[in-house]
A = this chain, B = another copy of it.
Amino acid sequence: GGVGNDPESENILSEFKTSSVLSDSAREKNIFIHGKLADREAVVILEKTPIREDSLDELFMGSKLSLEMRNDIYSTYRLQAPPQLNEIKATVVCPATEKHVKKYQRQESFLVEETGEDYQSITLPYIQKQSFSVQWVHNILEKKAEAEKIVYEDPEPEVGFVLLPDFKWDQKQVDDLYLIAIARQRDIRSLRDLTAEHLPLLQNIFQRGKEAILQRYKLPASKLRVYLHYQPSYYHLHVHFTKLGYEAPGCGVERAHLLADVIQNLQSDSRFYKSRTLYFPLRADDGLLGRFREAGRL
């Protein structure tokens, strides 16, 4: 904006030129738009705000109502509310790089079928070559970072773990409770590395994790969904604890594996996760998907 203008009252978006909609969600009432703001690349994100209980009276009194449909005891209306009671949150990224645009672009996913042999010949070499850094995980285990966030810790080197809130959870309410238990053992990459010898570790995380959450958040085990991801987003064994009823991202059957099932599977077959065919989604831009494609496995 020009010098001397009040940024509070100036509508910089009035000069925004839309190039394309990157993604949108009718369910979540948001939209991600790529365009130009005064000749610079920009991404604008609009999201409607939640309806606040404390503004209901004012909303009902101050709105304009138009009947759409009436049928027996049911009727629907379009309600036009005073603008200050019905704001939209706008986020502007400017100048935006190609990376930003790609990040917000809706990404298609593909379901991959990975046999035990595929893991050895495709996935494991890919993971090893990428050597994804888990330094930030080691920092947590060594209390070099996020030490103040730790909810519970078991220092035992073989079966021990650290429990702390996932960064997606703001901890303001338990409705969307999301904690992560990180194993102290450093050589377990994922589900594929687990055998019956890890049962004491898994049972310890399951049992003590549930106890710690009951104590700190008053949520009993019957309100928790406890699971691992495959593929995980980082290759150091960790377990997700989320509140049952909260549709946490990644809790779908195509990616999540209940810890209780993992334990049962290893109890009946120590090599279960060596030989089992596993299914998981990969985004179109994931390097691993390219490897499966090259191998003719897609």
Chain A residues within CB distance 8 Å of chain B: 7-14, 16, 18, 21, 24-31, 33, 46, 48-51, 53, 56-57, 59-61, 63-67, 73-84, 86-96, 108-113, 221-225, 227, 244-245, 247, 251-254, 256-258, 260-261, 264, 268-269, 276-277, 279, 281, 298
Given contacts A48-B48, A225-B254, A244-B109, contact A89 B78 (CB under 8 A): yes
In the complex, what residues of B have CB within 8 A of residue A109's CB? 244-245
Instruction: Check B78 against A90 for contact (C-beta < 8 Å).
Output: yes
Closest to A25 in B: B50
Chain B: minimal CB distance from A102 (Å): 16
Instruction: Check A91 against B74 for contact (C-beta < 8 Å).
Output: yes
Chain B: minimal CB distance from A33 (Å): 7
Instruction: Check A264 against B244 for contact (C-beta < 8 Å).
Output: no
Instruction: Check A53 against B84 for contact (C-beta < 8 Å).
Output: no
Tell me the complex Cα distance, A70–B71, Å.
49
Closest to A51 in B: B31
Chain B: minimal CB distance from A270 (Å): 14
Given contacts A88-B79, A91-B76, A254-B225, contact A247 B244 (CB under 8 A): no
Q: Determine which of B53, B110, B257 lies in contact with A253 in the assembled complex, contact meaning CB atoms within 8 Å.
A: B257
In the complex, what residues of B have CB within 8 A of residue A86's CB? 48, 80-81, 83, 86, 88
Q: Determine which of B31, B33, B77, B252 lies in contact with A92 in the assembled complex, contact meaning CB atoms within 8 Å.
A: B77
Chain B: minimal CB distance from A11 (Å): 5
Given contacts A11-B64, A18-B56, 19 further A-B contacts (CB under 8 A): A13-B77, A14-B61, A25-B50, A28-B29, A29-B49, A30-B51, A51-B88, A73-B95, A75-B94, A76-B92, A80-B87, A83-B86, A109-B245, A110-B223, A222-B298, A252-B252, A253-B258, A254-B258, A264-B277
